[in-house]
Amino acid sequence: MNITDLGTAKLSYQDNEIELPLLEGTMGEKAIDISKLRGATGLGTLDSGYGNTGSCTSEITFIDGEEGVLMYRGYPIEQLAEKADFVEVCYLLIYGHLPSVEELTDFRNSLTHHSLIHEDMKKFFEGYPPTAHPMAILSAMVASLSAYYPEEDGDTNIIRLLAKLNTIAAFSYKKSIGQPYIYPRNDLDYAGDFLHMMHAVPAEPYELDDTLVEALNLLLILHADHEQNCSTSTVRMVGSSGANLFASIASGICALWGPLHGGANQKVIQMLERIEKDGSDYKKYVAMAKDKDSDFRLMGFGHRVYKNFDPRATVMKQSADEVLDLLGVENNPVLATAKALEEAALSDPYFAEKKLFPNVDFYSGIILEAMGFPTSMFTPIFALSRTVGWVSQWKEMLTDPQNKIGRPRQLYLGETARDYVDIEKR
């Protein structure tokens, strides 16, 4: 463990004082270790939303929100986005190093050869109404994989999960539009296979477009991990109880679904459609987002950690421009509204003061819309990508000697002790 001991930090309270260990991580981040605080003082801490609380040490992903830095295993996201493919990034995140040619070939082959789902699982899809959100199907199917692979076979189950998720996500879409399932093809790479399973039909050949495969590959890389965010913390929390891999990841899928997290990419397009239907009066919506009496927020803007810019959004914006150019969709009214809204918000002092700028999901929503994905598939595609982050964090947690079941405390504000009143006297 590469922790540097920086001595102690002093905490004074009432007439007491305690010294707590002050630690430093490899990128210079400092943290006060409060793990002995309650035992030594009886004091707890209060940190709603965990904005200041580190729940674990990790060697996987580093973020500097002030400087807009994101690195996987020490490699800057910009370099990985330019040079790597998603499967290579998966290997890096899970095993901690860039694969050799042989390691990458073996890993790719394993992913390819585990992509079929058990034929019985196809029957599950039949039970859902056509209106079912694919995230509902995805989470249930992933939890159900534990019924087919009950053995605690960590690494093989990780491969199975990554490989089959592509197929499950595409099948759930085919179910929702009433088309036959398209089986995975072993000659296609991860992103290409997914596009094929989503868009091909048995009646005619489907031509994959390299630019779209590349754009999807990029999107998968940019979303692959993001340290201890809401869904990853959920996976670690559930996994800390000893729940199996599939159950832990299914819980992450549910956490990701929320509109303040991965569900934001779908909400971005729904918001843009609403603005467009309302006469494209985007200024009205910028004003609503600033109005304290309105609960309207600009979806795809702001971030808990990034306070100057989201480095993923910088890369994604460039890709969005390329995809829009390629597909010639500059006349799409929803995408025109997106550009107008982006400009209006970026030049507004309110957004500058609150450090609100477009996040990765603003542009990923735009790209996926332009690529012809239905909005309901946006968050499942995010889940396809983030699953590798979740499994890497889950695997790291299992081998961490400090790991124990997650169990936060609270500050109780309810009634003080009182006696039970018999029902006839209330």
Active site residue ranges = 303, 361
The piece of 32-40, 166-174, 354-362, 368-376 that touches ligand CMC (CB under 6 A) is 354-362
Comparing CB distances to ligand CMC, the nearer of 304 and 339 is 304
Footprint (CB under 6 A) of ligand CMC, residues 227-246: 229
Structure tokens at 114: 């585990």
Comparing CB distances to ligand CMC, the nearer of 370 and 383 is 383
Footprint (CB under 6 A) of ligand CMC, residues 61-100: none
| Cβ at position 276, least distance to ligand CMC in Å | 18
What's CA 380's distance to the chain center, in Å?
10
Comparing CB distances to ligand CMC, the nearer of 88 and 361 is 361
Q: 225: alpha, beta or left, given left = phi > 0 and alpha = psi -120 to 50?
A: beta
355 to 384: interface string for ligand CMC, x by CB under 6 A: -x--xxx-----------------------
Comparing CB distances to ligand CMC, the nearer of 15 and 293 is 293
Comparing CB distances to ligand CMC, the nearer of 102 and 295 is 295
Q: CB within 8 A of 125, min separation 6: which ones?
A: 137, 171, 172, 175, 181
Q: Which of 68, 302, 311, 389 lies at the binding interface for ligand CMC (CB under 6 A)?
A: 302
Comparing CB distances to ligand CMC, the nearer of 264 and 388 is 264
Comparing CB distances to ligand CMC, the nearer of 238 and 286 is 286
Q: Which of 3, 201, 260, 346 lies at the binding interface for ligand CMC (CB under 6 A)?
A: 260
Q: Which of 53, 95, 118, 297 lies at the binding interface for ligand CMC (CB under 6 A)?
A: 297
Q: CB within 8 A of 277, min separation 6: which ones?
A: none
* 166, 384 contact by CB (below 8 A): yes
Distance between CA 379 and CA 262 in Å, rounded? Answer: 6
Size of the residue set binding ligand CMC (CB under 6 A): 20
| Cβ at position 157, least distance to ligand CMC in Å | 26
Q: Which of 68, 134, 300, 365 lies at the binding interface for ligand CMC (CB under 6 A)?
A: 300
Examine residue 389 and tell whether it contacts ligand CMC (CB under 6 A). no
| Cβ at position 278, least distance to ligand CMC in Å | 17
- Distance separating the N- and C-terminal Cα atoms of the chain: 59
200 to 229: interface string for ligand CMC, x by CB under 6 A: --------------------------x--x
Comparing CB distances to ligand CMC, the nearer of 133 and 303 is 303
Examine residue 307 and tell whether it contacts ligand CMC (CB under 6 A). no
Examine residue 289 and tell whether it contacts ligand CMC (CB under 6 A). yes
What's CA 112's distance to the chain center, in Å?
23
- Type of residue at 59: E
Phi, then psi, of 16 in degrees rounded to 5? -115, 165
SS (H, E, C) 236-300: HHHHHCCCCHHHHHHHHHHHHHCCCCCCHHHHHHHHHHHHHHCCCCHHHHHHHHHCCCCCCCCCC
Distance between CA 165 and CA 169 in Å, rounded? Answer: 6
DSSP, res 358: B
Q: Which of 169, 286, 298, 315 lies at the binding interface for ligand CMC (CB under 6 A)?
A: 298
| Cβ at position 334, least distance to ligand CMC in Å | 17
Q: CB within 8 A of 274, min separation 6: which ones?
A: none
The piece of 66-74, 77-85, 195-203, 257-265 that touches ligand CMC (CB under 6 A) is 257-265
| Cβ at position 194, least distance to ligand CMC in Å | 20
**Strand 4-13 relative to strand 75-76, pairing:** unpaired
Give the torsion sign (CA, 290, 294, 300, 305): positive
**Strand 61-64 relative to strand 69-72, pairing:** antiparallel
Quick one: angle between helices 101-113 and 86-95, nearest 10?
100
Lateral strand order in the sheet of 4-13: 4-13, 16-24, 30-32
| Cβ at position 299, least distance to ligand CMC in Å | 5
Residues that bind ligand CMC (CB under 6 A): 226, 229, 260-262, 264, 289, 297-304, 354, 356, 359-361
